[in-house]
């Protein structure tokens, strides 16, 4: 992949929205990209109250939505004033959040969304962050709601399991990987993955990245007493990684989203931003 030219940032009314917009601006500045900020939240639930009360409640909902949208726009404008970034546009949608984000993502190189804080309302729920990496058809950078804010992409950990999803994630992350000071490719439990790693797990993808000019170190981790998701988080901490790159495994079955164990663990417990691709 060539450099990112269009970056789409999802904005809601949660406390994490300004942080992921800052990250979007940081990346757009680094790549000379255009940034689109899309404000969209989940629709309000249908009301079943009596007619007069229903009208009052609908009006209160409408005012609440407008106040939150106005507050979000102020946050967006303040970010651009503070950073001086001027290659950006504001978008807003009132349709289903997942439908809106996947539609707008078709015309972007990278999508930035946030992990939802279970203790703070943002207008979204966890079904959104769980569904977007599977549905978007684009690389998705998921930003934790709480983490140590550092520049993204200087020290990158690539979780390698020789799957189609992991290969897609590595290719989609190439613009970041080529700019990184160090990239650690780690094969977690390769003997148990069931994938065709080759003679030495991680060696082939390491060579692929080196040919792209990536400064890469390859290793493997075998810790059978700890699940792979927590192994990954532990290694990211040990290596002071500021970004994890991984494939997202999951599918929809009878209207229910089924996620792989590692994908689910990272979405629930991430400590640094995670770039996922499906």
**Is-above-0.85 flag for pTM?**
yes
Token readout for 269 is 């417990």
Please spell the DSSP secondary structure of 106-151, one letter per residue: TT-SEEEEEPPPTTS--S--HHHHHHHHHHSSS-EEEEPSS-----
Domains defined along the chain, listed by start: 6-143 (3.40.50.620), 155-277 (3.40.50.620)
Q: What is the pLDDT of residue 226?
A: 75
Q: What is the pLDDT of residue 278?
A: 84
User: Which residues of the chain, if any, have pLDDT below 50?
Assistant: 251-259
Q: What is the pLDDT of residue 120?
A: 86
Q: What is the pLDDT of residue 256?
A: 41
Q: What is the pLDDT of residue 12?
A: 94
């Amino acid at each position: 992949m060539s450099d990112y030219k269009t970056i789409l940032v999802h904005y809601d009314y949660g406390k994490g929205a300004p942080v992921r917009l800052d990250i979007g601006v940081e990346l757009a500045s680094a790549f000379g990209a255009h940034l689109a900020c899309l404000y969209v939240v989940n629709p309000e639930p249908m009301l079943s109250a009596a007619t007069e009360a229903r009208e009052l409640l609908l009006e209160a909902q409408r005012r609440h939505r407008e106040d939150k949208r106005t507050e979000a726009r102020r946050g967006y404008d303040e970010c651009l004033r503070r950073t001086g970034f001027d290659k950006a546009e504001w978008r807003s949608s009132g349709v289903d959040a997942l439908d809106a984000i996947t539609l707008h993502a078709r015309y972007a190189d990278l999508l930035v969304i946030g992990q939802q804080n279970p203790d703070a309302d943002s207008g979204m729920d966890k079904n959104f962050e769980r569904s977007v990496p599977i549905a978007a058809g684009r690389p998705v950078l998921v930003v934790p709601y709480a983490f140590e804010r550092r520049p993204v992409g200087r020290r990158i950990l690539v979780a390698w399991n020789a799957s189609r999803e992991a290969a897609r994630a590595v290719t989609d992350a190439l613009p970041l990987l080529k700019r990184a000071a160090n990239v650690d490719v780690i094969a977690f439990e390769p003997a148990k993955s069931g994938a065709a790693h080759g003679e030495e797990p991680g060696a082939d993808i390491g060579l692929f990245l080196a040919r792209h000019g990536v400064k890469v170190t390859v290793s493997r981790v075998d810790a059978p007493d700890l699940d792979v998701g927590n192994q990954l988080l532990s290694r990211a901490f040990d290596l002071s990684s500021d970004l994890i790159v991984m494939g997202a495994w999951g599918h929809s079955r009878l209207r229910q989203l089924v996620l792989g164990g590692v994908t689910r663990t990272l979405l629930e417990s991430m400590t640094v931003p995670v770039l996922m691709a499906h």
